[in-house]
Amino acid sequence: MEAFIHGLPKAELHLHIEGTLEPELMFDLAKRNGIKLAYPSVEAVRQAYQFSNLQDFLDIYYAGAAVLQTEQDFYDLTWAYLQKAHSQTVRHTEIFFDPQTHTARGIPFSTVINGIHRALQDAHQQMGITSQLILCFLRHLSAEEAMRTLEEALPYNAWIAGVGLDSSEKGHPPSKFVDVFQRARQEGWRIVAHAGEEGPAQYVWEALDLLGVQRIDHGVRSTDDPRLIDRLVREGVALTVCPLSNIKLRVFDRMEHHNLKTMLEQGVRVTINSDDPAYFGGYMDENFTAAQQALGLNKDQLGQISRNAFEASFVSEARRKELMFELERYLAKNAD
Ligand SMILES: Nc1ncnc2[nH]cnc12
Ligand SMILES: [Zn+2]
């Protein structure tokens, strides 16, 4: 099954580029930029990655991002992720970036996006992997700050497919950002939001009704509300589920108790993604494998998860056709 998962053509729809910062690269960049880290070694950094909830993780994640200073740093970070994704048969990836994490430290928006964009272009040329960029607003900051970030992003409209909402969920409902997302829709951007990760099913309703999202990031708390599940199924709303993240951040106590398979069997468009792979113990293959082994997913279900991701992605129709063709051929060839 691991070989089947490895070769399965995949799309990743929930990946924070800052969450791909491996401790080794963190040390390299710290050295390059003359920054002193709070940890003596790579092993000590890895040891520190024990979290009891989302906020625990976010505190360490924002601190780690401080080593990212120059356009080349953002390039190197993105390039390393794309190589890893390519090595795991990820054909298309939609990458979140958190500009406010960097602009708040005095790093210009242009430095961040130029580095990321150049790596995406090079990876397309050299590896054939396609990608989209999604700008996320930090929900623990104000709606005014989000609006200022949106305005800073306007000159880069052509490089940005959509906007999302991430960071500390509890106490920061989607309703806080109605105006920002209305503006983003007017600008023609696609809309996604983290909802129902730690926060209640109510936040998923708000993301749908008030922000107009096209996908929900995480959304695992939706099963608390059967009416919400009915709606997700009826409207074909995709959930970008991140199994290893949910275990590391204790959303579920163990993988065997994850609701991914239940939702899949209810007809929800579930996808599997890695969220912050450098912090949560693995990239796409590791997430698929952990979920498959704990929940007993069969090849049809794994194939359906990949199909869901291609269908829910923001690729051009021509590229989607290509991806679907490759996927269906792989599934036909590798059936039992
Ligand atoms: N899993 C997650 N939830 C909310 N914000 C995040 N930022 C990075 N990873 C996140
Ligand atoms: Zn996330």
DSSP 242-270: -HHHHHHTTSSSSGGG-SHHHHHHHT-EE
Nearest Cα residue to atom 4 of ligand 1:
167
- Is the C-beta atom of 16 inside 6 A of ligand 1? yes
What percentage of the chain exceeds 70 in pLDDT?
100
> What's the gap between Cα 252 and its chain centre?
19
166 forms beta bridges with 138
pLDDT the model gives residue 336: 84
Closest approach atom of ligand 1 to CA 198: 3
pTM over 0.80: yes
Domain 2-20+71-333 -> CATH class: alpha beta
Ligand in nearest proximity to the CA of 61: 1
Kindly indicate the confidence band of residue 103, based on its pLDDT and cuts at 50, 70 and 90.
Answer: very high
- Is the C-beta atom of 19 inside 6 A of ligand 1? yes
Looking at 197, 198, 206, 286, which residue is catalytic? 197
Per-residue pLDDT for 63 more than 90? yes
Q: Is 197 annotated as catalytic?
A: yes
pLDDT the model gives residue 232: 98
3-state SS class at 170: coil
- Is the C-beta atom of 198 inside 6 A of ligand 1? no
pLDDT the model gives residue 113: 99
Q: Which helix (H) or strand (E) holds 327?
A: helix 317-333
Mean pLDDT of 174-181: 98
Mean pLDDT of 231-236: 98
Mean pLDDT of 80-99: 98
Mean pLDDT of 267-293: 98
- Residue 2 is which amino acid? E
- From the CA of 328, how far away is ligand 1's center (Å)? 32
Q: Which residues contact 67 (CB under 8 A, 6 or more apart)?
A: 21, 26, 29, 30, 33, 35, 37, 73
Does 124 belong to an annotated binding site?
Answer: no
